Amino acid sequence: MRNAKESITPEVVIRMLAYGTLAGIAVIVIYSAQALYVQPAAKAPPPASTAQTMPAAATTAPAASPAAPPGQPAAPSDKPLQAGKAAPAGAATPEAARPEDTKTIKDAPKPESAPAGKAAQKPAPEPEAAVRPAPMAKAMAVLGTGLLLAGSALLGGAFLGFLFGIPRSLQQQSVPESASSQSASATTQGLSGRATYGANTSLEQISDWLTKILVGVGLTQLTSLPSALTQFADFANPGLGGFETSGVFAVALLVYFLICGFLMSYLWTRLRLGKAFSEADTLAVIRSEIAIVSESQKKAQEQLTIDYEALRLTEKQLESGDVSQEELDRALRGTSDLYRTNIYQQAGNVRRNNWRDPKKKAKMERTIPIFRALIATDEKKEKERFHQNYAQLGYALAEASTPDYKNALGALNKAIELRGPAETQGYLMYEFVRAKCLADPDHPDPNTKEQVLKDLRVALQWPELTSAIGQDERLSAWLKANHVSMKSLLQHTS
């Protein structure tokens, strides 16, 4: 018994209601079958009029004959005397029937009979009853009408059940968000790069309004329900055969199928529609995420192709130097930051490992186009990134077999500008190499002397550069030409 109760689920109830609907259709078929055997009761004819005309012999009498001259008997009158009326004045009252009078009446000419061989004229026939349809046709008409009534009631109930059973989506409008959470949400939305949209709840709102209106209006019209059902029964009576039970059967069809349709639609909507909406929304989100992932993978593959081509051309340039500046610029344009860093490190290692040996300076000089390409294709340089690219370019130009101190000075000035104060940012080698570019022992310039000394004092804050200044031929010659000793530099630095 317990298992039986536990097995009664909403799905089972829906199945039972469906079986009940089929049973109702079977009842309609059985009800329509009575038209094959039972005819509706004929209406009684209207009562005849009470004022009937009396026969002529009973209502008429011979009229009094005109007055006879004196001494002569009165002549019989050809006009009958109206029944119930007195004879006119001066007229002789009818006397007792005389033999001659009787004879006269008997000898009166009789109406001629119809000629022989001709049928006597028949009286007018009474109006015949309306032609009745064949029993099978009437049974089919009753069946069709019953099915239409049942289907209409079923659909009407299903519509009401759908309105009452529409699930309500969970909205977070009732929970006010704080300013911080709204800011975090806006930030998350901005980072994701796409807007988040909620489900359209117009159908839910319409359902809520209609159900409230229907319940309110229905409660106010309960008193008129019996008369409305009576009118419906009278309306559907002819279509259901006009039997004595046709009106009751019509009301029963309406109520039965209306309730069945309501319950089936309500239960199905509550059980299936909410789940279907949820699955559809989830599937839409999954499809959107799959599309985003696919697009990301596609972009990643395209980016990987660009990065691989840039890395290949960079390695080719470092090995042989056969790549033009235009090819490098085109290859490095759009390269990811990860590969740009990798390319920068490879070129920097080649420069550091080969600038001291005069025999390897040619290999070091192959890094110059790479650093120029990194600077030219830095699409985010408005954010003042990668000052190291300018510094490495300045180093390579200053350390080339034929030094280009002018362009090296421009690159180092830009690197120092992007770097910021040396006291906080470091990279003191920038000032050391810039001082070397400015220090021209063959053409001393008083305007640049203070800048060279200033850069050397900054560079000497890094103790390892003390020996580098003394080992550099260009700087040593300039210090000697300007009568500046290392001791004085160190004193000003300390």
Strand (E) or helix (H) holding 80: strand 80-82
In this structure, are residues 436 and 453 in contact, taking their beta carbons and an 8 Å threshold? no
Q: How far apart are CA 252 and CA 113, in angstroms?
A: 65
Using DSSP, state whether 417 is helix, strand or coil. Answer: helix
pLDDT, position 385: 65
The answer to whether the beta carbons of residues 81 and 63 sit under 8 Å apart is: yes
The pair of structure tokens assigned to 199 is: 């489900």
**How far is residue 327's CA from residue 322's CA, in Å, rounded to a whole number?**
10
pLDDT of residue 290: 93
Tens of pLDDT, residue by residue over 478-492, are: 888 777 777 777 665
Q: Pseudo-torsion of CA 205, 211, 213, 219, nearest 10°?
A: -160
Which of 420, 417, 418, 393 shows the shortest CA–CA distance to 407? 393
pLDDT in tens, 291-326: 999 999 999 999 899 999 999 999 988 888 888 898
User: Closest Cα to residue 14, out of 325, 265, 357?
Assistant: 265
* Residue 81, SS3 per DSSP: strand
Matching residue, tokens 């806006």: 186
Per-residue model confidence (pLDDT) at position 39:
62
Q: Is 62 helix (H, G, I), strand (E, B) or coil?
A: strand
Residues 6+ apart with CB under 8 A from 250: 149, 232, 233, 235, 236, 237, 240
- Domain range summary for the chain, segments of one domain joined by +: 2-18+133-168+202-295
C-alpha 407/C-alpha 399 separation (Å) is 12
Profile the chain (494 residues) by mean pLDDT over runs of 10 residues: 60 83 87 74 51 42 45 45 43 44 46 47 50 75 90 90 75 43 44 48 71 76 83 89 88 92 88 82 89 92 90 89 88 87 90 87 89 83 71 89 88 88 83 85 78 83 78 82 74 60
pLDDT for residue 223 = 80
* Residues written for the chain: 494
Quick check: 347 and 315 in contact, CB under 8 A?
no
263-290 burial by CB neighbour count: b if 16+ within 10 A, else e?
A: bbbbbbbbbeeeeebeeeeeeeeeeeee
| pLDDT value of residue 73 | 46
pLDDT at 169: 60
Q: Distance between CA atoms of 443 and 429, rounded to whole angstroms? A: 24
Q: Where are the alpha helices (DSSP H) in 399-438?
A: 405-419, 422-425, 429-438
Residue 364, classified by CB atoms within 10 Å of its CB into exposed (0-12), middle (13-18) or buried (19+), is: buried
